[in-house]
């Protein structure tokens, strides 16, 4: 296998594996937030704000995985 093909394959694997975990995390986070809002609608503003902060942090992990994939590809 050529070096460029190996780098492309490694990038694809790193990006896909690195995005899989955060996607599950965001799904669970939003699910639990909606569940909490269903139980206590008066706290929806506080829950929603906290949920979006959590989503931003989890999404940062996916972006880091993508950056690592690009480093593998172009280094």
- CA-to-CA dists, residue 48 to 1, 6, 11, 25, 75, angstroms: 49, 43, 34, 16, 40
What is the percent of the chain where pLDDT is above 70?
Answer: 100
1, pLDDT greater than 80 = no
Specify the number of domains making up the chain: 1
CATH of the domain at 34: 1.20.20.10
3-state SS, residue 56: helix
29 is in which domain, residue-wise? Answer: 3-74
pTM of the predicted protein model = 0.78
Question: Is 24:55 a contact under the CB 8 Å cutoff?
Answer: no
- Mean pLDDT computed over every residue of the chain: 93
């Amino acid at each position: 296998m050529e070096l460029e093909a190996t780098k492309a394959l490694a990038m694809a694997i790193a990006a896909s594996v690195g995005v899989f975990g955060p996607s599950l995390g965001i799904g669970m986070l939003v699910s639990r937030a909606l569940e909490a809002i269903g139980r206590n609608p008066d706290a929806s503003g506080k829950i929603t704000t906290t949920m979006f902060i959590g989503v931003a942090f989890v999404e940062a992990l996916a972006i880091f995985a993508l950056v690592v994939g690009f480093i593998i590809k172009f280094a």
